[in-house]
Amino acid sequence: MTSFEELTTKERPTWCPGCGDWGILTALKKALVELNLPKHQVVVVAGIGCSGHLPQWINTYAFHSLHGRALPVAQAIKLANHELNVIAVGGDGDGYGIGMGHFIHAMRRNVNITYIVHDNQIYGLTTGQASPTSEKGFKTKSTPHGQIEPPVNPIALALSADCSFVARGFAGDVPHLVKLIVQGIQHKGFALIDVLQPCVTFNYLNTFDYFYRRIYKLEEDSSYDPTNKQEAFKRAFEWGERIPIGLFYKENRKTYEDELPQISQMPLVKQKIDFVDIKNLIEEMC
Amino acid sequence: MTSFEELTTKERPTWCPGCGDWGILTALKKALVELNLPKHQVVVVAGIGCSGHLPQWINTYAFHSLHGRALPVAQAIKLANHELNVIAVGGDGDGYGIGMGHFIHAMRRNVNITYIVHDNQIYGLTTGQASPTSEKGFKTKSTPHGQIEPPVNPIALALSADCSFVARGFAGDVPHLVKLIVQGIQHKGFALIDVLQPCVTFNYLNTFDYFYRRIYKLEEDSSYDPTNKQEAFKRAFEWGERIPIGLFYKENRKTYEDELPQISQMPLVKQKIDFVDIKNLIEEMC
Amino acid sequence: MSEFSWKIGGEAGYGIMTTGFILGKSFVRAGFFVFDTNEYPSLIRGGHNTYTVRISEDPVFSHSKKIDILVALTDIAIEKHKKEVRKDGFIIYDEGFVNVKELKGINLIPVPLTKIAIEKGGQNIMRNNVALGASFALIDVDPEILYDAIRDTFKGKKGEDIAQTNINVAKAGYEYVLEKFQNINKIKIKSNGKQKRMYINGNEAIAIGAIKAGCKFYAAYPMTPASSILHYLASKENDYNIIVKQTEDEIAAIHMAIGASFAGVRAMTGTSGGGFSLMTEALGLAAITETPLVVVLAQRPGPSTGLPTHTEQGDLRFAMHASNGEFPRVIVAPGDVNECFYETFNAFNIAEKYQLPVIIITDKFLAESHATTDPFFIDGMKIDRGQLLSEDKAKNIQDYKRYENTISGISLRALPSQENTIFKAATDEHDEYGRLSEEPADRIIQVDKRFRKMKVLETEIDGAKFYGDKDAEVIIVSWGSTKGPILEAMKLLHKKDIKVGFLQILYIIPFPVNKTKSFLEDAKKKILIENNKTGQLGSVIKEKTGIDMDYKILKYDGRPFTPEEIVSQIEEVLIHDKL
Amino acid sequence: MSEFSWKIGGEAGYGIMTTGFILGKSFVRAGFFVFDTNEYPSLIRGGHNTYTVRISEDPVFSHSKKIDILVALTDIAIEKHKKEVRKDGFIIYDEGFVNVKELKGINLIPVPLTKIAIEKGGQNIMRNNVALGASFALIDVDPEILYDAIRDTFKGKKGEDIAQTNINVAKAGYEYVLEKFQNINKIKIKSNGKQKRMYINGNEAIAIGAIKAGCKFYAAYPMTPASSILHYLASKENDYNIIVKQTEDEIAAIHMAIGASFAGVRAMTGTSGGGFSLMTEALGLAAITETPLVVVLAQRPGPSTGLPTHTEQGDLRFAMHASNGEFPRVIVAPGDVNECFYETFNAFNIAEKYQLPVIIITDKFLAESHATTDPFFIDGMKIDRGQLLSEDKAKNIQDYKRYENTISGISLRALPSQENTIFKAATDEHDEYGRLSEEPADRIIQVDKRFRKMKVLETEIDGAKFYGDKDAEVIIVSWGSTKGPILEAMKLLHKKDIKVGFLQILYIIPFPVNKTKSFLEDAKKKILIENNKTGQLGSVIKEKTGIDMDYKILKYDGRPFTPEEIVSQIEEVLIHDKL
Ligand SMILES: Cc1ncc(C[n+]2csc(CCOP(=O)(O)OP(=O)(O)O)c2C)c(N)n1
Ligand SMILES: Cc1ncc(C[n+]2csc(CCOP(=O)(O)OP(=O)(O)O)c2C)c(N)n1
Ligand code: SF4
Ligand code: SF4
Ligand SMILES: [Mg+2]
Ligand SMILES: [Mg+2]
């Protein structure tokens, strides 16, 4: 039985007190406990940012990669050893800014990994510049006269990019987030969980309170059908007085791994390479 | 009066005979003629690919940039001199593969440029590998056992990324394409025109004939309202027996330039720099 | 005593930076020379931060190892820095929060910083101001200079009221110490009279240099330690009509700068090593299209993410050779804030005159350390846009060749919108018109033409500076931010009657081959000093001149040199003839 | 005559590549030695393509300048290449489509290629086969070897019928010439008996080397001239259980390779200069996380897009210094198809033993030219995975330190899923466990540890090869694909009684300092030969050994050297003592 304690590292997180990242870490650990995943069979892959520090504080394998590059690394780890549970984490700048290209392509590819985005609508670790999800007009160090661009909409993009599991959580509601992460890991395919994560140091606008007053849960709306993409799109654009969290959309389709005869027998990493017979290849060249 | 002839270069295109690129070049030149844009006030910016060769054969200013990077260059040219008409062109690999990140961010930014994507669902210039829009199962040099990933959907992505003008044309219907390009250039904001462009050398599936049998024009459906985003999403996912072309969506919102007091009086490039007074800045440091 | 050093240490995120800056600023205003430097980890709160300010009656170019006053906000601060405090120096600490046992030879000054802050101001964080006041009580100067600096800092940002509260809190600290510690031996220092001086760091100097150069477009993606260029320029974007664009990534940033430059405005981008890695492909784009470009590379320790908030000079070779293929570029390595300003200005002229990329290479130590300097002398700074065609001239041109094969290698540069000069800029090899060409002849013409520009450039640039004694036994060679510590070390060595010369390589490309040879060929002991592991400049000197350095003083723990470290290593060389 | 050269020139996109390959293959099968090379522009159809095949009774290592038979499918082919045809050589051209006036000293062989193709086969494009048949009529060999090769080529892809049609067409060409030109002096060449040999290009050799090394994961983005590695491996992905992934860009490609390697499989990526630029940041990621990685960099002329389908050796310095910060890497530069195969195999061993990135640097000339060689000798090739922990060993480990500070610098490498070895791989600097650390002590330990690996590595690798005469007056130094033309040039010089030695630098890093010194220090005339503008290897030699090259033979028009060019330039050196 995997326990919360064994997932907890001796080192304490260095996040600011009150930061939403704490809730995400707790939720992730609880989800792994709930799923009873052995800790050595989990790899957490991160980008760079406050969010990117997360893998340091969870006692699983971890690969702390480059800014924006968690997804290519995570997908390849899964392809090389699909018996592992691979969870990618990152920030909004990391995933939706510099990492946007990988994000879109990973979703259509549908490798069976879970992607948790700490969406604080700001660049935290670099001390407060606008992020791709910063709201229009938001003033930051890099946009002292207000952000001009409207924010990207990760949920809508995910729906357009053939993501097979699209959800949004809130760092201020850990039990709900645990459920989403559990579902995301259980889902066979690429699962996106965008997490509203207040940055208490640099984002004076999108605070815990801001979200407490606005969020509602999709699953509490009994009419909502998370297999209906058109409906999902409608909710994806809801951002203002009401902000939906929960599962927007889910579909079952083959994972990338499912389509690879190369690993239908066993994971790549278990295949012997000591003597590869290339006589045929040499022959073909003669 | 701008004439078709003066836009035509002495050098002839080196595209394969019958390639869809020819139709796009013709349509672009015709559109410029129709809009009567002086040729020296037009800059065509391209990426790298068969498509990227286009600016060589139109007698306007041109910047032939790097693979995937037409958009950042094009946006900056416009910001530096917003009196220019800036048209970016590129391929599907160029724009939706390696250039995906710029593509998404350019759309929300809404700089007033026109982006024409030669979407041949293949990598032409590198002699036939899968592209991001290649259909699932498609066999190419890089996917000899069939492409596994479903294609990206540029129209849906554009709608999700706040693109203010979203259209699809067909290289086999030049008059229709001319109209779209004219509208795209006239549109104030970022205009995407994805052009179905058969590659007669490497794409044996998505041929002219393939499209002739499938395409229909949105504007011929009188019930279709291109200001309704939800409707646009529905059509965006239509790809099979029927493939819509025409204007999917259009909205009027401020361009990025509109929000810059720095250039409200005159373009950056016209502002004098011979003597910049920095006394205040020095003073502030004392 | 003609100088002293003050250091504050505590948790990140609690205003230590502002506090140190205010202290420095107050002394600058009073006519002193100041140098400061900071150290902080890559996280937002917690962790250990320091800010060190050195104040002197005479010019200073770096921090020094010995601290006269340490302000300790945490136990860690004591632990880490007690050894740095000089004999009979002071440690002010937050009584009730920080525990110190007696320390031999050090004056402990317990002050209930937090308590006073809450009593007088209402907020924990104001304890820093209490500490400032307390510090001033140990120095024989009028504390009004402090209160003025506090007022200036807070007034603008937070209003008169808050400013006054902060002053009150500082006063309370001042008075507390004055009263409680009446017998202490105050630090004595005397200003040589007020004199207007700037107190500025490398990034600010670069940003102002760019503004002065008419930079109209700055595109960047945040990355420590380059980010504050972005912040500074953004704050001035409307005053100076500059478009300052935070992009989706560094690739977009450099391409935007190139696009804007192609359209005719002076443009710059800035980043650190990781971002520069992403920009390498576009360097070649600027080169082959001959689009002027200025790139700031503010180094931090690598490889990869490395030590993101620390300092190193590990990217020299990378900057020299970044991007595929061969093309000319210029690399300038300012060593102080003045060079940051003037060389940035020059960089824009060079970029436009020679139509090529110019890289300004700095590091965290230079980028973020403030130094005093005379107000920049701007008379006579002249914008030179090189062979840029005016609208008028462009009108009369026929058969325009953008990439004409000229003797200098430099061709007339037209801008889009000019009527008779339509051309193609292409990243493929091209003919003189810019049309794609794969002909061997065109290829050779264009490669040679591009490289020929360097020949002209070499004659224009004096890429090295020499300090100290030409006939000295020891000649130091270095580049970039080590300049300050080296100059300070030279002062210390001078006092010990050790003669030293110092050759500063300012331009890495074009490399000052002759000057380097002339200073090094007959030198008895040639010592290379670099803030890196492998002695990269040393390898460049060897490559360009064949000269081997006799000794290498290298530091690669992410921290800048102190003058004292340099002195002791040079003494090693002189005494033991080894290192 | 013991050899001859055949060249075909015509428009791109009309099967010229296949045609040339078939010709070469048929002679290989018949026991001859063959070398071919192609030249094509960066567009799909039209433009001018050539394919040159050199056939010899003895081993050949490059093409040569003189052509014996030119097949001209277009006027341009005549125009461009008539000068290359040797005295009394032949030009076969498409009568009715190509116009030729009499050419002194050349035998014109007009053949209605297209006409015959349409008559006998039905398709224009089959004219190439007519030309093949016609060519054989000029050579004194049994044309059956041609028909066999045609059959083999088409049978698999297009079926028996199509194969037969193609053969018929070739026969028609053969007979046409035989009949019409009865008096010609046939080219005489005799096989030394059939012998099984491979006919393979550099990319194929690399791909097969990787397969043999147990590479299980190849991620890449298409880019000439690296693409055919991707194509080849993709075609074998199911036979050898390799995941071959075309990614969204080069950044993803290298990160995927690193991810797969971290998870425990041997992984590689491949690209050309522009893509390599995009990969630079991740090189540092592999380095600091100590993840084994093999990267193929197939060069083409830059800067930027440059001449995308041509050849150059312009990225050497870039490969050496790419990425921010300082870290060890290995760079191997194979010079022929054998070295491509064996060194790729070695690269995987080195990458895993030393846990660092290995760059295999080639160029278009090597990547795409076919050469004959004995079947790879694979006995005794041993996979060495270095300090990789087996499941069993991992189970018994306690207090596992992934980045343990060992004497060799190499630490035990565990894989995710092993029970007792959970660790963090981080791009930030870290302690021995992989936990983020900004402590100076940890920093120094890790930097030193990483670099220490190179010391061990240096002892293991013999990075240079010497050919020819050690006491020769002239010592050539070069690297990579110039090897072939140089070896051929040496043969020619030998015939002229000019003694030459040739030092091939195989490993750029670790650089063979001692060997280079020992061969160059006393050499009278040291000549550098590189396919670039600036003589990059020369600068490395200077940097590493202080030795200046006396002469430089450089070529940067995008084309490979011919042996004759090298000979004439060396003669210049010997006769005029200048270059
Ligand atoms: C290539 C590169 N560019 C820039 C940086 C600097 N950087 C580090 S974290 C970060 C952004 C952090 O924002 P986000 O991804 O939203 O994460 P957060 O800190 O908010 O969790 C940036 C720009 C980097 N490490 N690498
Ligand atoms: C960084 C980089 N990677 C790869 C290439 C090689 N390359 C040239 S064009 C191209 C793709 C062409 O496909 P697409 O963009 O769809 O354009 P098309 O040729 O089909 O018009 C590639 C991969 C390159 N030039 N630069
Ligand atoms: S800066 Fe913001 S995101 Fe980063 S740890 Fe602090 S509160 Fe969290
Ligand atoms: S390869 Fe395809 S896209 Fe390229 S020119 Fe030929 S037909 Fe057009
Ligand atoms: Mg963030
Ligand atoms: Mg394409």
DSSP labels, D494-558? HHTT--EEEEEE-EEES--HHHHHHHHTT-SEEEEEESSSS-HHHHHHHHHH-PPPSEEEE--SS
Query: Could you tell me which chain A residue has the CA closest to the CA of C239?
Result: A145
Asked if C570 and C489 count as a contact pair (C-beta separation under 8 A), the reply is yes
The structural domains of chain C, with segments of one domain joined by +, span: 3-180, 199-373, 391-460, 465-578
The one-character DSSP state at A282 is H
In tens digits, chain A (286 residues) has pLDDT values of 899 999 999 999 999 999 999 999 999 999 999 999 999 999 999 999 999 999 999 999 999 999 999 999 999 999 999 999 999 999 999 999 999 999 999 999 999 999 999 999 999 999 999 999 999 999 999 999 999 999 999 999 999 999 999 999 999 999 999 999 999 999 999 999 999 999 999 999 999 999 999 999 999 999 999 999 999 999 999 999 999 999 999 999 999 999 999 999 999 999 999 999 999 999 999 9
Smallest Cα–Cα separation from C364: which of C225, C192, C550?
A: C225
Residue with token string 């202290």: C23
The pLDDT tens digits of the residues spanning D198-252 come to 999 999 999 999 999 999 999 999 999 999 999 999 999 999 999 999 999 999 9
Asked if D334 and D340 count as a contact pair (C-beta separation under 8 A), the reply is yes
Query: What secondary structure does DSSP assign to C154-212, as a single string?
Result: HHHHH-HHHHHHHHHHHHHHHHHHHHH-TT---B----S-----EEEEHHHHHHHHHHH
Please give the helix or strand (H or E) that residue A243 lies within, else none: strand A243-250
> Is there a contact between C234 and A97 if contact means CB atoms under 8 Å apart?
no
| Average pLDDT for chain A | 98
Asked if D262 and A73 count as a contact pair (C-beta separation under 8 A), the reply is yes
Q: How far apart are CA C479 and CA C474, in angstroms?
A: 17
Candidates A48, A98, A145; nearest CB to C238: A145
- What CATH class does A4-285 carry? alpha beta
Please tell me if the CB atom of residue B21 comes closer than 6 angstroms to any atom of ligand 2: no
Q: How far apart are CA B230 and CA B263, in angstroms?
A: 35
Do D199-373 and D465-578 fold alike per CATH?
Answer: yes
CATH superfamily of D3-180: Pyruvate-ferredoxin oxidoreductase, PFOR, domain III (3.40.920.10)
Q: Is it the case that residue B36 has pLDDT exceeding 90? A: yes
Q: How far is the CA of B255 from the centre of ligand 5 (A)?
A: 26
Q: Is it the case that residue D123 has pLDDT exceeding 90? A: no
> Is there a contact between A125 and C42 if contact means CB atoms under 8 Å apart?
yes
Query: Which of B15, B64, B125 best tests ligand 2's pocket when mutated (most atoms within 8 Å of CB)?
Result: B125
* ipTM > 0.95 (yes/no): yes
Q: What is the pLDDT of residue D368?
A: 98
Please tell me if the CB atom of residue B122 comes closer than 6 angstroms to any atom of ligand 2: yes
User: Does residue A144 have a cis peptide bond before it, meaning omega lies within 30 degrees of 0?
Assistant: no
The pLDDT tens digits of the residues spanning C275-311 come to 999 999 999 999 999 999 999 999 999 999 999 999 9
Smallest Cα–Cα separation from C43: which of D141, A17, A23?
A: A17
Q: What is the pLDDT of residue D471?
A: 87
Q: Is it the case that residue D159 has pLDDT exceeding 90? A: no
Could you give phi then psi for residue A28, rounded to 5 degrees?
-65, -45
**SS3 assignment, position D154:** helix
The pLDDT tens digits of the residues spanning D512-560 come to 999 999 999 989 999 999 999 999 999 999 999 999 999 999 999 999 9
Q: Which residues contact D79 (CB under 8 A, 6 or more apart)?
A: none
Q: What is the pLDDT of residue C1?
A: 59
Q: Which residues contact C325 (CB under 8 A, 6 or more apart)?
A: C284, C287, C288, D273, D301, D302, D303, D304, D306, D312, D314, D315
**A81 close contact with C: CB closer than 8 A:** no
Q: Is it the case that residue B159 has pLDDT exceeding 80? A: yes
Asked if B61 and B44 count as a contact pair (C-beta separation under 8 A), the reply is yes
State the smallest CA–CA distance between residue B251 and chain C in angstroms.
Answer: 24
Q: How far apart are CA B125 and CA B51, in angstroms?
A: 8
Residue type, C551: Y
The pLDDT tens digits of the residues spanning C320-336 come to 999 999 999 999 999 99
Smallest Cα–Cα separation from B78: which of B246, B169, B191, B2?
A: B191
Q: Which residues contact C382 (CB under 8 A, 6 or more apart)?
A: C349
**D559 close contact with C: CB closer than 8 A:** yes
Compute CA D105 distance to the chain's CA centroid, rounded to the nearest angstrom. 36
Q: Looking at beta carbons, which residues of chain C come within 8 Å of D536?
A: 326
> Is there a contact between C248 and B80 if contact means CB atoms under 8 Å apart?
no
Burial class (CB in 10 A: 0-12, 13-18, 19+), C517: middle
Of the pLDDT bands very low, low, confident and very high (cuts 50, 70, 90), residue D579 is low
Asked if B83 and B41 count as a contact pair (C-beta separation under 8 A), the reply is yes
The pLDDT tens digits of the residues spanning B166-219 come to 999 999 999 999 999 999 999 999 999 999 999 999 999 999 999 999 999 999
Q: How far apart are CA B235 and CA B229, in angstroms?
A: 10
The pLDDT tens digits of the residues spanning C85-109 come to 999 999 999 999 999 988 999 999 9
| Average pLDDT for chain C | 96
State the smallest CA–CA distance between residue A28 and chain B in angstroms.
Answer: 28
Q: What is the pLDDT of residue D190?
A: 92
Instruction: Please give the structure tokens belonging to residue C131.
Output: 């500490």
Q: How far is the CA of A201 from the centre of ligand 3 (A)?
A: 6
Neighbours, chain C (3 or more CB pairs < 8 A): A, B, D
Q: What is the pLDDT of residue B207?
A: 98
- The neighbouring-strand residues paired with C6 are C53, C69
In CATH, what is the architecture of C465-578?
Answer: 3-Layer(aba) Sandwich (3.40)
**C45 close contact with A: CB closer than 8 A:** yes
Residue with token string 């907890």: A8
Near ion ligand 6, which residues have CB within 5 Å?
Answer: B 91-92, 120, 124, 131
Q: How far apart are CA D464 and CA D483, in angstroms?
A: 12
CB atoms under 10 Å from CB of D175, counted, come to 15
Q: What is the pLDDT of residue D1?
A: 59
Q: Is it the case that residue C43 has pLDDT exceeding 90? A: no
Q: Looking at beta carbons, which residues of chain C come within 8 Å of A124?
A: 44
The one-character DSSP state at A93 is I
Q: How far is the CA of A126 from the centre of ligand 1 (A)?
A: 6
Residue with token string 């946006």: B75
Residue type, D56: S
Backbone torsion region of residue A176, taken as left when φ is above 0, otherwise alpha when ψ lies between -120 and 50, otherwise beta: alpha
Q: How far is the CA of D315 from the centre of ligand 4 (A)?
A: 30
The pLDDT tens digits of the residues spanning D89-98 come to 999 999 999 9
State what percent of residues in chain D have pLDDT above 70: 99
- What CATH class does D199-373 carry? alpha beta
Please tell me if the CB atom of residue B95 comes closer than 6 angstroms to any atom of ligand 2: no
Q: Is it the case that residue D55 has pLDDT exceeding 80? A: yes
Q: What is the pLDDT of residue D274?
A: 98
Q: How far apart are CA C470 and CA A270, in angstroms?
A: 66
C-alpha distances (whole Å) from D333 to each of A133, C496, D188, D336, D505 are: 46, 52, 37, 9, 8
Q: How far apart are CA D25 and CA D148, in angstroms?
A: 10
Q: What is the pLDDT of residue D578?
A: 61
Classify strands D46-56 and D67-72 as parallel, antiparallel or unpaired. Answer: unpaired
Asked if C43 and D436 count as a contact pair (C-beta separation under 8 A), the reply is no
> Is there a contact between A66 and C224 if contact means CB atoms under 8 Å apart?
no
End-to-end CA distance of chain C: 33
Could you give phi then psi for residue C116, rounded to 5 degrees?
-60, -45
Instruction: Please give the structure tokens belonging to residue B68.
Output: 């995937």
The pLDDT tens digits of the residues spanning C557-574 come to 999 999 999 999 999 999
The pLDDT tens digits of the residues spanning C158-179 come to 788 889 999 999 999 999 999 9
State the smallest CA–CA distance between residue D154 and chain B in angstroms.
Answer: 18
Q: Is it the case that residue C579 has pLDDT exceeding 70? A: no
Q: What is the pLDDT of residue C578?
A: 62
Candidates A149, A153, A161; nearest CB to B152: A161
Give the residues surrounding ligand 1 with Cβ less than 6 Å away.
A 48-51, 67, 91-94, 118, 120, 122-126, 131; C 221-223, 250, 274-275, 278, 305
Burial class (CB in 10 A: 0-12, 13-18, 19+), D195: middle
CB atoms under 10 Å from CB of C440, counted, come to 15
Q: What is the pLDDT of residue C15?
A: 87
Q: What is the pLDDT of residue D191?
A: 87
Candidates D212, D261, D416; nearest CB to A276: D212
Give the residue from B11, B14, B15 with the most D CB atoms within 10 Å of its CB, the best one to mutate.
B14
State the smallest CA–CA distance between residue B107 and chain D in angstroms.
Answer: 19
The pLDDT tens digits of the residues spanning D386-421 come to 999 999 999 999 999 999 999 999 999 999 999 999
Q: What is the pLDDT of residue D414?
A: 98
Please tell me if the CB atom of residue B199 comes closer than 6 angstroms to any atom of ligand 4: yes
Query: Model-level pTM greater than 0.90?
Result: yes
Smallest Cα–Cα separation from A94: which of A45, A59, A161?
A: A45
Smallest Cα–Cα separation from D440: which of C198, C531, B152?
A: C531
C-alpha distances (whole Å) from B151 to each of A105, A106, D243 are: 9, 12, 20
C-alpha distances (whole Å) from A219 to each of A155, A170, A176, A180, D76 are: 16, 14, 10, 11, 71
Neighbours, chain D (3 or more CB pairs < 8 A): A, B, C
Q: Is it the case that residue C470 has pLDDT exceeding 90? A: no
Give the residue from B73, B82, B108 with the most C CB atoms within 10 Å of its CB, the best one to mutate.
B73
Q: Mean pLDDT, to the nearest integer, of C230-240? A: 98
| Average pLDDT for chain B | 98
> Is there a contact between C327 and D440 if contact means CB atoms under 8 Å apart?
no
Q: How many helices (H) and strands (E) does chain B have?
A: 10, 8
Residue type, C88: D
Q: What is the pLDDT of residue C575?
A: 85
Comparing C342 with C12, which gets the higher pLDDT? C342
The pLDDT tens digits of the residues spanning D443-466 come to 999 999 999 999 999 999 999 999
Buried b (16+ CB within 10 A) or exposed e, C215-229: bbbbbbbbbbbbbbb
Q: Which residues contact D360 (CB under 8 A, 6 or more apart)?
A: D206, D294, D295, D296, D297, D332, D333, D334, D340, D343, D344, D347
Q: How far apart are CA A108 and CA A103, in angstroms?
A: 9
**A93 close contact with B: CB closer than 8 A:** no
Give the residue from D206, D251, D418 with the most A CB atoms within 10 Å of its CB, the best one to mutate.
D251
